Amino acid sequence: MINGKKVLALIPARGGSKGIPNKNILKINRKPLIAYTIHEALSCDYIDAVVVSTDSEAIAKAATKAGAEVPFMRPEELAGDKAKSIDAVLHAITMLKNMGREYDYVVLLQATSPLRNASDIAGALKTFVNNGEKGLASVSEVLESPILMRKFDESGKLVNLIEGTSTMRRQDMPTFYKVNGAIYINKVEELTKDTSLNDNEQGYIMDRTHSVDVDDYEDIAVVNYYLGALGRK
């Protein structure tokens, strides 16, 4: 709870991952990938409940073992490749409400961001509350400025990605950020089926070392390295 408001941490984790089979329960340093997110959510003092939304019995078993709740299973139609995160969020909120459990804020935590820690979650929640409770998405600084990027136009000519930037000095370039997918926070009452979490207008800046999103086997190698460097187990 924060400022008297109840906070739900929701971890969506469907079973049908494409790039890496069973990615959400893939063992990294002897722990299922999803367990890292569950542990940090449980370690955040502001979180009232940690719930996993999944269609997979194997993921549900791993999540429960790690300390999360799996009070319902996500229906198959909300777990396909074309399903949106907001659909899983609304389904979870409805299911919990039907159980007599209501929350003011929902914090969506992707299982594929294992390096995001409890301090990141707490910091994002404080930023959210202190800035008018506007929808929040965590971001991290990009390594390569889009100002330095080029593209091919329709004629095959190499041109600036951003028009008129070819003469800008590196020290004059603004800092750019990308949504890293680790944390999204919204007021429950403002969520609709048309909500796009990536369009949340408030940003919480995270360290790049906490922002790795596991999408392929190369990312797993990076996570293993940082787990050691950060002293995480």
SS3 string of the chain? CECCECEEEEEECCCCCCCCCCHHHCEECCEEHHHHHHHHHHCCCCCCEEEEECCCHHHHHHHHHHCCECCCCCCHHHCCCCCCHHHHHHHHHHHHHHCCCCCCEEEEECCCCCCCCHHHHHHHHHHHHHCCCCCEEEEEECCCCHHHCEEECCCCCEEECCCCCCCCCHHHCCCCEEEEEEEEEEEHHHCCCCCCHHHCCEEEECCHHHCCCCCCHHHHHHHHHHHHHCCCC
What burial letters (b/e) apply to 165-184, b meaning 16+ CB within 10 Å?
eeeeeeeeeeeeeebbbbbb
As a whole number, the mean pLDDT across the chain is 91
HSE-up (13 A, CA, CB side) for residue 136: 29
- Which whole number is the average pLDDT over 192-218? 92
pLDDT for residue 233: 64
Find the helix packing angle between 57-66 and 33-42, rounded to 10°: 40
Q: Please give the biggest Cα pair distance in the chain.
A: 61
pLDDT in tens, 132-191: 999 999 999 998 888 888 889 989 998 888 776 666 777 777 888 999 999 999 999 999
Give the pairing of strands 49-53 and 7-12.
Answer: parallel
pLDDT tens per residue across span 94-115: 999 999 999 999 999 999 999 9
Alpha carbon distances (Å) from 35 to 41, 58, 86, 113, 203? 10, 13, 22, 11, 25
Q: Check residue 175 and give its pLDDT.
A: 86
Query: In the prediction, which pLDDT does 195 show?
Result: 92
Residue ranges per domain, the chain? 7-140+176-229
List 93's β-bridge partners, or say none.
Answer: none
Q: What is the pLDDT of residue 15?
A: 86
For residues 19 and 58, is the Cβ–Cβ distance under 8 A?
A: no
pLDDT mean over 14-34: 87
Q: How many CB atoms lie within 10 A of CB 16?
A: 14
Answer CATH for 7-140+176-229 from 3.90.550.10, 3.10.20.30, 3.40.50.720, 3.20.20.80: 3.90.550.10
